[in-house]
Structure 1
Amino acid sequence: SSESCMRLLAKAASVVQPSAFAQYKGELVISLKYVTHKKTTEKVKGKKSSAEEGGELHVLIKEAKNLTAIKGSTSDSFVKGYLFPTKSK
C-alpha cells in the first residue's frame, strides 16, 4: 500500500449569518438522503433525448439530546431546521 498527501483548501467563507446559530439549543443527529427520479426518454424531432428531472431530499431526525426546555417546561419534540442554498457546486 502507498500513502499520498494532499493539500487542504482554505476554509470557505460562511454564507450563514453567525447570529443564526449563536445560541446552543441542543444536539440533533440527522440523516440526509437524496432520491433521484428515473430518467425520462423523449423524442424531440426524431432524436432521443434523456433528461433527469428533479428529485427529493429526505431528512430524518434520528436523535435529539440536551434540548433546552421552554421557560420551565419539559423539552418539546418540535424541531425547526433550515436548509441554505450554496452558490457553488
Structure 2
Amino acid sequence: MSRFEDAAASLNDRDWSTAHRDNGHRPAAVVHAVSMSYEITERLVTLAQSRGISPNEVIREVVEDYLDNDADELITIRRADLHRAIDIAVKNAT
C-alpha cells in the first residue's frame, strides 16, 4: 500500500458519527519559508519539545518578541566593556 492509501485507510477506520464541524473564525495566516542549518533546527526542536509546544509556536514567539522589542535601540558593545560596566555598577551598589 502507498502512503496515501495507508492514510486513507486510517481515516476510513474511524467512527466519524460524533464529529462536529468547526466553524470558528480563524485569523488569516501567511506562511514564511526559512532555511536553517541542521544544528539550529535540532536546537529549535529540542527547545519546543522541552516547552511542550511546536517549533512553529517557538518561531512565532521569538519573532513577536523581537518585533515588540524593536523600539529598543540595538547596540554593539565589547564584552570587556560590558564586564567593566557591571563591575562598576556592583561596586557602586555596595
**What range describes the TM-score normalised by the shorter chain of this pair?**
under 0.3
* Larger Rg over CA atoms: 2
TM-score by length of 1: 0.20
Structure with the higher strand share, 1 or 2: 1
TM-score by length of 2: 0.19
Structure with the higher helix share, 1 or 2: 2
Q: Bigger relative contact order, structure 1 or 2, given CA contacts below 8 A and separation 6+?
A: 1
